[in-house]
Amino acid sequence: MKRFYLFMFLLSIAHVNIAQVKFTANDVVKPYTGHFGYGSNVGYFPNWSAEQLGDISIGNDAEQIAGTGVTTLRPALFEHFMEQWGYEFRIPTFEHYRKLGAKDNVVFVGYPSEAHRDTTHYCSTKRSELFLNLYEPIWDDGKNGTPYNENNYYAAYLYKTVSLYKEYVKFWEIWNEPDYSFTANSIYSPGTGKNWWEHDPEPCDYDIRAPIQHYIRMLRISYEIIKTVDPEAYVAIGGIGYDSFLDGVLRNTDNPNKGEVNAEFPLKGGAYFDVLSFHTYPHIDNSLRDWSNALGGFVYKRHTDAAVTGVLTLRQRMEDVLFKHGYNGAQYPQKEWIITECNVPRKPLNMGFGSDEVQRNFIIKALVESQKHKIHQFHIFTLGDKFDEKDAKNIYNEYHLMGLYQNLYKANPKTAKPNHIGIAYKTMSDLLYEARFDKELYEKLNLPEGIEGGVFITNQGRIAYVLWATTQKDNSEETLQVINLKRLIGESTLVQKRWNFAITQDSTMVNAENLMLTGEPVFLFSPHKEDESIAPPLMRQQPISVDIYPNPFSLETNVTIQVVEKTTWTIRLINQLGLPVRVLANQTVLEKGYHSWFLNGSDLQPGIYFLEYISNKSSSIQCIQVIKTF
């Protein structure tokens, strides 16, 4: 079979009169119209084959493996691997991914074999990580029987790779984190030190150990090769994390003479990629703290809404740089967007941030907000943990606890157990894959302050709401908001599904008029005939009237309710964190009629509180009334 693939490949390049691309990303970037991709990095785990890792990510019905809802993958095809094992070696693997259902995969490329690696030490202590002969011509018009120049090792490798794998790959990502920084120059502001805004990165500053113009040269070669072989594919800048590096790419050409523009090097780096691929880790990029001059230290905000805001803030900073250089849809086409690495910790090793609850809340919120902000794919950092949680003891271990699965070093495809985040990921994908974010409906919803989420139209035409109360307290996911969603959407009841629906398959009917939201996102759907078996919220069991007077109050108020029929009730005053501060009735049997309580608030802090009513005939909250104290 391998010989067949190789024969077909050689046959395909025998005809060397290939029409080389005559346009750049300064001329056109085709809008991406595929479905949002729930992605994962595949990674490497001993005793696991690449195919088995595909099974537990996407799911394999034939092997009775459920997977975690992954719909697209981000494997790698390094040159040193291809040279050692053969260029066709991974074709059966990619074919397996396709049969499982993977679509529009991302592949990151680069990493030369020792024989094809640049020998120059641009950094005095480290040799260049990039390819030898990058500045050889890309094409040689078939002089050696191929359209590409064999002496340009990167062009030769990429042409063969893209030719063989183009039917499996939509996004070609050029290198992984080329801007991975070893100094603070990457984060310095203009006017400070050797910042990357006003100075090109020093080769010793960062991962590629070469001038930035050499990376731009890789982008140029990539664009010409990829667009020639597969015009429908996208070229992505390689998983970057610093807007200052992006600025360096956009202000330089690939001219090794300081990136100057001339006839041989006419265009700057932005002309050679369609997609901005970025990596974001909110727990290490200062998203979870702000400096306070007044306090002389940091003020922390270690909660998931701040983490998600950090993701979007980095996107905005990157877009600001793109717009500054003309990639705004007017001067040049706008770029498309993907995230190819992201997550937060499961154990609070760095900055005291991380838990199962944090991970599952963050991932759902991040997936919603990505779609709202035109990010087409989101790839979790790693498919599985690399050791048990109890063994993680320093901040460097946190990245080994960011997987969709528990420790894969100790598991096999039949015993692999998903973490909470893996269950939440599958729930989101199962419920909303192929759904599209509806901006118009979301804006009409006009959510009140303190509540966030998104509105989606499923491929069956059903409206889905994903909503949560925004977290605001440091090191806490506790928050509570009540919304009258009926007033906004006209529905009296909704079908609610929680983060673990992929496992439990449980749904509940909730009262849209008094909907309680916490820091945990919930999925809400209009009732459908398939939901007829779900017990409705016991609307008749809630009080038919509630009177609180005075409201607002300063010291004391009177609470009166009218009960429809004899029922057991628990009635509590709770704060915005969902914690009870007063209990008016605790599993108390109330006869039909009126019942009153005096509520003393003399020791309560000013703010918003809620009255919670729970009857013995329903586990859901029946009614919540806001009380404000002064």
26-47, pLDDT tens digit by residue? 999 999 999 999 999 999 999 9
- Both 158 and 239 in one domain: the answer is yes
Alpha helices in 140-269 (DSSP H): 153-165, 212-229, 243-251
Are 545 and 623 in contact by the 8 Å Cβ rule? The answer is no
> Do 153 and 131 contact (CB within 8 A), yes or no?
yes
Same domain, 85 and 227: yes
pLDDT > 70? residue 428: yes
Q: Does residue 102 sit within a domain? A: yes
Report the predicted TM-score, pTM, of the whole model to 2 decimal places. 0.87
One domain for residues 487 and 554? no
Is 602 in the same domain as 513? no
Interior/surface letters 367-377, b for 16+ CB within 10 angstroms, e for the rest: bbbbbbebbbb
Residue 6 has pLDDT above 50, yes or no: no
pLDDT at 14: 44
DSSP per-residue string spanning 480-521? -EEE-HHHHH--SEEEEE-TTHHHH---EEEEGGGEEE-SS-
- The pLDDT value given to residue 592: 86
Q: Are residues 108 and 234 in the same domain?
A: yes
| Domain-embedded: residue 536 | no
pLDDT for 53? 98
Q: Give the pLDDT of residue 572.
A: 84
- For residue 537, the model assigns a pLDDT of 56
The answer to whether residue 167 is domain-embedded is yes
User: Do residue 398 and residue 443 come from a single domain?
Assistant: no
Peptide bond into 550 cis (omega under 30): yes
Look at residue 255 and tell me whether its pLDDT is greater than 70: yes
37 found inside a domain: yes
* Choice between 7 and 322, residue whose per-residue pLDDT is larger: 322
Q: What is the CATH number of the domain that holds 505?
A: 2.60.40
- What is the structure's pLDDT at 604? 78
Q: Are residues 72 and 144 in the same domain?
A: yes
**In this model, does residue 272 exceed pLDDT 60?**
yes
**CA 373/CA 313 separation, integer angstroms:** 11
Q: Where residue 591 falls among pLDDT bands split at 50, 70, 90?
A: confident
Q: Are 521 and 453 in contact (CB under 8 A)?
A: yes
Q: State residue 575's pLDDT score.
A: 73
pLDDT of 188 strictly over 60: yes
Across 288-317, average pLDDT: 96
Q: Which amino acid is at 496?
A: Q
| Tokens linked to 540 | 């008749």
CATH number of domain containing 301: 3.20.20.80
User: Domain ends where: 433, 458, 475?
Assistant: 433
pLDDT tens for 437-480 read: 999 999 999 999 999 999 999 988 999 999 999 999 999 999 98
User: Is residue 133 assigned to a domain?
Assistant: yes
> Whole-angstrom Cα distance, residue 408 to residue 415?
9
Q: Which of 531, 549, 570 corresponds to the end of one domain?
A: 531
Indicate if 130 and 220 belong to the same structural domain: yes
17 compared with 374, residue with greater pLDDT: 374
Q: What is the pLDDT of residue 622?
A: 42
* Number of domains, the chain: 3
In a domain, 564, yes or no: yes
> DSSP for 338-364?
EEEEE---SS--STT---HHHHHHHHH
Of 316-330, 384-398, 611-625, give the lowest mean pLDDT range: 611-625
What pLDDT score does 200 carry? Answer: 98
Q: What is the pLDDT of residue 616?
A: 58
Task: State which of 367, 399, 433 marks the end of a domain.
Answer: 433
User: What secondary structure, in 3-state letters, does 553-598 show?
Assistant: ECCEEEEEEEECCCEEEEEEEECCCCCEEEEEEEEEEECCEEEEEE
- What tens digit of pLDDT does each residue of 481-526 get? 889 999 999 999 999 999 999 999 999 888 898 898 999 999 999 9
Beta strands in 343-421 (DSSP E): 375-380, 382-384, 403-405
30, 150: one domain: yes
Range of the domain at 488: 437-531
Q: What is the mean pLDDT of the chain?
A: 90
Q: What number is the average pLDDT over the span 215-220?
A: 98
- Reduce the DSSP state of residue 384 to 3 states and report it: strand
The whole-number average pLDDT for the span 531-539 is 59
Choice between 557 and 13, residue whose per-residue pLDDT is larger? 557
Residues 153 and 129 in one domain: yes
| C-alpha–C-alpha distance, residues 277 and 335, integer Å | 10
Q: Name the pLDDT band for 93 (thresholds 50, 70, 90).
A: very high
Q: How far apart are CA 367 and CA 312, in angstroms?
A: 11
pLDDT band with cut points at 50, 70 and 90 for residue 535: low
DSSP tag of 29: -
- Is 105 or 586 the better-scoring residue by pLDDT? 105
Confidence at residue 533, expressed as pLDDT on a 0 to 100 scale: 64
Q: What is the pLDDT of residues 599-614, one digit of tens each?
A: 887 777 777 677 777 7
CATH number at residue 556: 2.60.40.1930
Q: 381 and 498 share a domain?
A: no
pLDDT at 550: 73
What's the chain's length in residues?
A: 630
CA 424-425-431 angle, to 5 degrees, is 85
pLDDT of residue 556: 77
Q: Is the pLDDT confidence value at 308 over 60?
A: yes
The pLDDT of residue 577 is 63
What's the pLDDT at 257?
Answer: 97
Token pair of 570, please? 């628990």
Query: How confident is the model over 136-167, as pLDDT tens digits?
Result: 999 998 888 899 999 999 999 999 999 999 99
Residue 578 has pLDDT above 50, yes or no: yes
Task: Clarify whether residues 92 and 69 are in a common domain.
Answer: yes
pLDDT, position 532 = 64
